[in-house]
Amino acid sequence: MREVRVAGHRLEVLHHPTRDHGGPTIIFLHEGLGSARQWRDFPKRLASLCGCGFLVYSRWGYGGSEARPQPWPADFLEDEAALALPELLASVGITQPVLFGHSDGATIALMYAAAVPGGVRGVISEAAHVMLEPISIEGIARARDRFLHGDLRARLHRQHGEHVDDTVLGWTGNWLRPELRDWDIRERLRAVRCPVLVVQGRDDDFGTLDQVEAIVTRVAGPAATLVLDECGHIPHNERQRDVLDAAASFIRRLR
């Protein structure tokens, strides 16, 4: 890991440039309570299968990046897609990346692809949310309860350190605001022109398959799906071989 300054904040970044001239770099965007380290060895394994470079980083407020005091603004995902991600890509000289996002990270990837239609080779959207469903709110409320009264604080402290309260309570507090019940970016997806692979576990307790349908029926570019039985919210851990194979095949077709 090294540190870079992006949009005025210190971020931890792990970057392995591609050795193939003209080959793509995969940018990994973590989930709402994740970090760069949450991906474990998955980025390295996928990049190796594809002959690609990769970059994984912790967003502001996560992991070893700079702490983000709560409360978090309602538009924090917007800021990530519109400000932080483009500045990060420019700072390391990456153009035309493949974006692999998980949960919040997948939402950011789709938002960025919609805002910069010619700037992305492809998007792998894993467990994205493009509208807020009752199951999403229930899952976030359970996570907050487990953090306050169960084992989640100790588990996440290992990942986020001393700012774990700001991370978890900032994130959950934002999504549980009553004024965000109508949060919805489905219409924005019509501006996504690059190829998209949508990955979802059938047993995801944060979103239903309506999220998959919303994405594939609205994006302007070609869309493929990988819906996995007996799989929850983290397919790249729970069904790693299936996700690796599908993602590698998708990326190879983009070259």
pLDDT digit string, tens, across residues 19-48: 777 779 999 999 999 999 999 999 999 999
Q: Is residue 201 part of a domain?
A: yes
Which amino acid type is present at position 185?
I
pLDDT for 244: 98
Over range 119-136, report the average pLDDT.
97
pTM (two decimals): 0.97
Q: Is residue 153 part of a domain?
A: no
Q: Is residue 98 part of a domain?
A: yes
Q: Is residue 227 part of a domain?
A: yes
Domain count for the chain, please give it. Answer: 1
Q: Which domain holds residue 84?
A: 2-131+184-252
23 neighbors 98 (Cβ within 8 angstroms): no
Q: Is residue 19 part of a domain?
A: yes
Structure tokens at 162: 């001393």
Q: What CATH number should be reported for the domain holding residue 35?
A: 3.40.50.1820
Over range 77-81, report the average pLDDT.
96
For residue 122, give every residue at least 6 positions away whose Cβ sits within 8 Å of its Cβ, in sequence order, or none: 98, 99, 194, 195, 196, 197, 250, 251, 254
